[in-house]
Amino acid sequence: MLFKPNPEPVIGLGFSYSWFGLGFSFTVPSSEVQVKKYGKTQKFDFEAHYTLRKLMIDLTLKNYKGFYFSNPETYIDTWNWKTDPYPQVPNLETFTAGVSFAYIFKPERYSSNAAYTFTQSMRKSGGSWMLGGFASLNLMNSDSSIVPFSVRQHVDPKLDLKAVGFYNVGASFGYSHLFRFRKNFFIAFTLLPGLSLQKVYLQSSIDETVTESNELALRTISRFSVGRNGNKFFWGFRINAFLRFRPYRIFLRLPPRYIRMEVYEKN
């Protein structure tokens, strides 16, 4: 089961100066046809990045309300994607807050500002090992049931979840490198795999009972950039990728099979 926000266009703005970077995004209003097809989604995205000589810090805050069931054809035989609107869950809400940091062991050989904020320049190729940590809170809830009855009756009536929460605290270790070529051009990458202790919180929509469990979870942060850093002007392009349970992936044991439920946020 895949739940996604309204696929409306998103405009992002960012600002960076020296060691500090700030970014946020907002959506462009959808047409009536799109709202009828996918429903409405209220979104809030905030990110802040601090890049110092020996330390990188990332802050994230996201809030989404209103999703649609994006793969109804898997469960509803009579659904027609050409004429029928997607089943919608307007009261389904997600909240994400996270902080992570990475310590650079060899700042004299590698500069994260040169690699990702483009405010500095490295005269030769170099890299460094990094040690980091992270903590995150991911919540998903609805005022009645995460999976409405109109969808649940086609999947399984036992899907009675009202709220789900993931709490993570972990550590990571990896490597970053910047390659210079043709005098002023560069390519940089960061690979920072990590392991966390994850607490899972599940609340029933029928009797409000709560089930909690603890498990280990994997997360990998990867970054890539390419650009030119000259004496008079510079340009750059970068990609950040977070590979984890992100944002919400739930495996529900409903004999005789498993049901996987995913809720996506836009980045």
DSSP H or E run through 32: helix 32-38
- What are the pLDDT digits (tens) for 186-200? 999 999 999 999 898
What the block records as the tokens of 144 is 């009645």
Tell me which residue has tokens 């510079």: 234
Looking at the chain, the whole-number percentage of residues with pLDDT higher than 90 is 23
What the block records as the tokens of 236 is 């750059």
DSSP H or E run through 230: none
Q: What is the mean pLDDT of residues 180-209?
A: 89
Task: Tell me the pTM.
Answer: 0.75
Amino acid at position 68, single letter: Y
End-to-end CA distance of the chain: 20
Determine how many CB atoms are found less than 10 A away from the CB of residue 123.
Answer: 7
For the chain, the average pLDDT equals: 80
**d(C-alpha 78, C-alpha 72), whole Å:** 9
109: left (phi over 0), alpha (psi -120 to 50) or beta: alpha
**d(C-alpha 31, C-alpha 38), whole Å:** 11
What the block records as the tokens of 106 is 């060899």
Q: Is the pLDDT of residue 254 over 50?
A: no
Q: Is the pLDDT of residue 100 over 60?
A: yes
Determine how many CB atoms are found less than 10 A away from the CB of residue 8.
Answer: 17
CA dist 116 → 25, 56, 264 (Å): 19, 11, 26
- What are the pLDDT digits (tens) for 122-172? 889 999 999 999 999 988 888 877 777 666 666 666 667 888 888 999 999
